[in-house]
Amino acid sequence: MTTEDPLHAVLFDMDGTLVDTEGLWWEAVEQVAGRPLTEADRPDVLGRPVEHTAAWLASAGGGPPAASPGASGRPSAAELASALHREFADRVGAGVAPRPGALALLTALARDGVPAALVTASPRSVADTVLQALGALGAPEFAVSVTADDTERTKPEPDPYLAACRALGVDPARCVAVEDTPTGVASAEAAGCTVLAVPSVAPIGAAPRRTVLDGLTEVTPERLRAMAGGHLTVMSWNLWLGGAPVDDHRSKQLTAIRASGADVVGLQETAGTATRELAEALGWHHHQAGGNLGLLSRHPIVARLGDPDVGFYGAAGARVLVDGAHEVDVWTAHLPCSPYGPYEAAFDGLPADALVAHEEERLAQLRDALRRIAEEAGAERPVVLVGDFNAPSHLDRPDVAWPVTRAAEEAGLRDAYREAHPDPVREPGHTWSPVHPVHPEDGVRAGLPEPQDRIDYVLHNARGLRVLASRTLVAGAPSPWPDVAGNAWPSDHAAVVTAFALGR
């Protein structure tokens, strides 16, 4: 591997990916549970650490009666974990079979000088047994191995993959993780890795920066190089007063960002501290502008753009260095919320010309942002502009020439969501509002159906940027206002997440 190689390392799951142990684990759990497992048991058995499955068995009353002296009733989770370790290790020690193509791929990577790491939710004792068995079959030595014993949290959290990348001294964005379960895929993607999924039991769908294959027999280092690097996933998210209306909002924000697969997040309504606190928890770079706007980036920020003391409404940007090779300017914007065109159209029946006239303040702010963006970027630099514009799109509502989004289009910016989903009837992409099915304010409009609309955007200038996929994101089924404190989704907006290919 050279410094110019887009593939810095390949990180392999073990059970079900490199070796055919899923069946052995299933047998071990059945033995300890004292009953046959069913399809309904899969989420708590496959791709989970031993401790999770043991706790699940304990809560379900699984396993034989406790045998320790003086014990009564069913075994504890700790006793079940010990039994699971023992049963699984016995089966692994009797012999494991490599998955088809695994040894050939490991050998080819070693020949090309690409480091390989093992990242598993199995304990160290089991991992070392498997590594010894693979070595006896001629597999090259792994540069690093990370097990359930080596991190405080294991899959589906990103910690194991991040630990492997730190040990190798590589950027997760330039690594490919090879996984066979949804749990493992979630862990690798949360860490920022590109994923090659080879499902062994549970199905795994395709997604940005994720390739799904039936197995490893046709996988080569060249194919993995083509997958690695050269991607950027950007998220736009209004945090809703920093998240304050929802309990435990900071933890829920972190969960959402990790699950999104985003590399850069443009934030609005940060309440002053959210950008820094989220960045510190993620271990990312950040730029806070004024008290309302912020940018998070897993890639280094090499320049901060725009007014650092911007007011509640306006725009701010940062230049991020992706894979050490691509500089991209990413801006976040928040435009005034009043007067709100969808209300004036739905509740007041204003005609198109009046609706357009009432967009003047937002239009002026966006044009000022577009001028700053153009000055900073020059003629060639890739630009992404995200934000809560508080205005509908002319691409969604052709009966009104909504001027804010038209101004962005005239400045050369493309709407990534509409590129990916050209039909606004089939894919409306509403971002306002997952918690307001009816109008939330008092007065004559109280209780009327809330206009659902797309007012949050990811725009780009197509200079070395190609849209791979774009989607809206909401976790769970949020309860409507005012009963929002317990919602898993800590915002009154849906987020927008777009994956780009860079330099092609």
Catalytic residue numbers read: 13, 15
Distance set, CA 285 to CA 100, 169, 280, 410 (Å):
40, 18, 8, 32
- First CA to last CA distance, the chain: 23
Cα–Cα dist 347/363, whole Å: 22
CB neighbourhood size of 318 (10 A): 27
CA torsion 236-169-133-78 (nearest 10°) is: -60
Residue pair 177/198 in contact (Cβ under 8 Å)? The answer is no
Beta bridge partners of 383: 329
Cα–Cα dist 151/388, whole Å: 38
Question: Token pair of 254, please?
Answer: 């972190």
Give CA 5 to chain center in angstroms: 25
CB neighbourhood size of 150 (10 A): 19
Cα–Cα dist 279/272, whole Å: 13
**The residue to which tokens 């001294």 are assigned:** 169
